[in-house]
Amino acid sequence: MTVPLTVLVVVASLALAAWAGWFVYRDRPVILRQLWGASVVELLLVVEAVVAGVLLAGSESVSSPGLFWGYVAASLLVLPFAAAVAFAERTRWSSVVLLLAAVTVAFLQLRMTQVWQA
């Protein structure tokens, strides 16, 4: 995993979390523009996964690949799920779900970095 890419994902997902948090405070449901934001984060996650795959195919190695790819898969699943909730629940609670999802993505980056370095 490359550090700049990880930092970018963390910053982007935390920005999305802050945006969602603001909407929770304002008692508003998730809006489409936030889902575009979420898809940018998702795209970054896909790029990161591809880069990780290329690096691991090359000289890099990770102590437990199963664990690492498990985290990659989990982080890819979280935001689409929050988007589905955003369509189903048109109250502030969809913003709470998006907030939690974005924080989870950032947290998973931390765990992925730990596994990568181990």
Partner 1 sequence: MTDSKETAVTADHPAGQRVEGPPTRAGFGRVLVAVYGILALAATGRASYELATKFDEAPLAYLLSLLAAVVYVLATVALWRGGTRWRGVAWASCSVELVGVLAVGIASLADENAFPESTVWSGFGSGYGYIPLVLPFVGLWWLWHTRPRVAEEGTPA
52 is a site residue for partner 1 (CB under 8 A): no
22 is a site residue for partner 1 (CB under 8 A): no
Which positions ≥6 away from 105 have C-beta within 8 Å?
9, 13, 41, 45, 75, 78, 79
What does the chain come to in residues? 118
**29 CB neighbour count, 10 Å cutoff:** 18
When the beta carbons of 55 and 89 are compared against partner 1, the nearer one is 89
Which residue do the tokens 């449901």 mark? 29
d(CA 96, CA 57): 38
14 is a site residue for partner 1 (CB under 8 A): no
Sites for partner 1 among residues 74-93 (CB under 8 A): 74, 77-78, 81-82, 85, 88-91, 93
* Total site size for partner 1, rule CB under 8 A: 21
Q: Which residues in this chain contact partner 1 in the complex, by CB under 8 A? A: 64, 66-67, 70, 74, 77-78, 81-82, 85, 88-91, 93-94, 96-97, 100-101, 104
